[in-house]
Amino acid sequence: MAWTRRHQLLAAALTAASLAGCADLGYYWQSVNGHLTMLNAARPVNDWLGDAQTPAPLKTRLALAQRIRRFAVTELGLPDNPSYQRYADLHRSAVVWNVVAAPELSLTLRTWCFPVAGCVGYRGYFSEAEARAEADRLAAQGLETSVYGVPAYSTLGWMNWAGGDPLLSTFIGYPDGELARLVFHELAHQVAYAPGDTGFNESFATAVERLGVERWLDAPAGKGNDDARQAYQRFDGRRRQFRALAAATRRELTAIYESNKASAQDPRAQLALKKIAMQHFREKYAELRATWDGYAGYDPWVARANNASFGAQAAYDEGVPAFEALFEREGRDWQRFYGAVRQLAALPRAERDARLKADPLPAWAAMAESGHLPLRQ
């Protein structure tokens, strides 16, 4: 019997699942089924653009996404493959929901191991209810947990033979700069990937998105409505300020937790110091928020902030200045930069980390790391 693409995908995914053991078959089944459902909902962008039933605003966004994708390929040297040439309407707010967990006195995330991806500090579910059920199980074990919706994920180029990663309704409506940022980030995952090193992978992709959007906004292809451009700059400025505050809080919490290891203090004292640090974080956030003209987008994150959410955010932030410095050292040449990153990804983790941190940061990158200067703005 001839196999359809769906059968091929199912066989490949279940083979991978079997390698992980029978205990995880239920989890892998929901992953396979969710991914196949998403792929089956996707149609070529040109079909959507040519369909009289497609709303005009969606056609505008899809056309913009294709311009962004072409820019990613021609100007940023990102992969030219089937990814982001199809679109799917998922009729929900997120494509998957990630669960993260950490101990009461540590920012180190619990990890799960998967074929190809290696061990990572999150576990994704296509059902929010299942994600929250997993978080409840972990909380019952004494871990702090966080569940957050994800608008997109990368299959690392492994699924390009099946149509690649599609554009999704979960992010197609993002403002221009945010849409470009997300596409650049996800395509970057197809350039270089170090199995089991979430911090390396996400920080690299975040560096590409930042540098890429900077170039996109300065290029004729990205220039449009001045109000939209200014709105992105305001939004990104708030994001940088918030991440700088979160990074400062992570350092404070880490110092508290490390002092406990060094001196074997009574955990109750550490918990008291932790409570003070978290209160200080919320007070500083309130001060910051007061300067944002009513913007309250981070309120839910702050209300639920705990070790798990701080630990998850660190993966996207902490290595970014080192990658931006590497981009500078490679003469701001994208292909040289990607080549250097791939070489790092091939190294053992300890050596990779050491090499990334070996050279001092340029002054502008060090200032950006502290939150005092928006990069190249």
pLDDT band per the 50, 70, 90 thresholds, residue 113: confident
- pLDDT above 90 covers a percentage of the chain that reads 70
- pLDDT above 70 covers a percentage of the chain that reads 85
- pLDDT above 80 for 8: no
Span 261-290, average pLDDT? 89
Decide which of 84 and 20 is more confident: 84
Domain map of the chain by residue range? 5-174, 226-370
* Predicted local confidence at residue 162, as pLDDT: 81
* Predicted local confidence at residue 375, as pLDDT: 35
* Predicted local confidence at residue 281, as pLDDT: 98
Span 153-161, average pLDDT? 87
pLDDT band per the 50, 70, 90 thresholds, residue 335: very high
Nearest residue to 375 (alpha-carbon basis) of 207, 246, 250:
207
Q: Identify the residue whose tokens are 């003070």.
A: 276
What does pTM read for this prediction? 0.85
Least confident of 179-188, 277-286, 309-318: 309-318
Least confident of 21-35, 134-148, 265-279: 21-35
* Predicted local confidence at residue 373, as pLDDT: 36
* Predicted local confidence at residue 221, as pLDDT: 61
* Predicted local confidence at residue 260, as pLDDT: 62
* Predicted local confidence at residue 358, as pLDDT: 75
